């Protein structure tokens, strides 16, 4: 079954409805750290992640113009990964992400402003073990726009948990990236079918522009 036929089948069976944009969005920039964009890093993931970083530059600028809250996540572990649980055993490449490693820093192209929140996490979802849900709720956010990597890992987990915390989830497809196109496309399809709306970057930019 082709992707188009499968999408039609999902809709006929009551999946892939649209949640749409709400009234109070926030931008979550998930794990766009240098480990995924630096040649030689075990986590280096070209061309998907570097392309997604570049596509996210106008997204971030539009969010700032619209005075939309921007929250970043990064990943950092204690030496030896003793706070990483089973995750670092399953993905030992994560052990390079320590607080003193330059690879754990957010990419220069999307560097946070001094008043933008950066939250350190240990696991895939931006919500698991962090205060992001409480922070968003306190700001009366109803919509989260997710940019970041990887599509099949931390982006997907954040989309699922975002929906489960009651937020509308929007994923601009150009602004998320993965190590390989297969997992990337499969997880975009699954997010769009069950957890949020996968949209074009242009659609999100138009929405944010209407708020500026």
Indicate which residues carry an active-site annotation. 154
How many Å is the Cα radius of gyration of the chain? 17
Q: Are 22 and 145 in contact (CB under 8 A)?
A: no
Please tell me the distance from the alpha carbon of residue 130 to that of residue 106, in angstroms, as a whole number.
18
Tokens of 92: 């030992």
Scanning the chain, the segments in alpha helix (DSSP H) are 3-12, 48-65, 85-90, 132-138, 156-164, 181-194, 201-209
Tokens of 195: 């957890």
């Amino acid at each position: 079954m082709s992707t188009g036929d499968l999408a039609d089948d999902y809709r006929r069976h009551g999946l892939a409805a649209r949640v749409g944009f709400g009234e109070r969005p926030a931008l979550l920039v998930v794990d766009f750290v240098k480990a995924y964009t630096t040649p030689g890093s075990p986590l280096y993931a070209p061309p998907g992640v570097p392309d997604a970083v570049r596509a996210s530059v106008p997204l971030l600028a539009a969010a700032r113009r619209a005075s939309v809250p921007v929250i970043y996540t990064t990943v950092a572990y204690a030496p030896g990964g003793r706070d990483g649980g089973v995750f670092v055993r399953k993905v030992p490449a994560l052990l390079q992400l320590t607080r003193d490693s330059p690879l754990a820093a957010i990419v220069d192209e999307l560097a946070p402003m001094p008043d933008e929140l950066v939250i350190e996490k240990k696991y895939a979802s931006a919500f698991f073990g962090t205060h992001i849900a409480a922070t968003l709720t306190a700001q009366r956010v109803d919509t989260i726009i997710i940019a970041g990597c990887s599509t099949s890992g931390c982006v997907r987990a954040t989309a699922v948990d975002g929906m489960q915390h009651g937020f509308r989830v929007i994923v601009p497809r150009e602004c998320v990236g993965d190590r390989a196109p297969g997992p990337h496309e499969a997880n975009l399809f699954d997010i769009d079918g069950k957890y949020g709306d996968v949209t074009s970057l242009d659609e999100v930019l138009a929405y944010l522009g209407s708020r500026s």
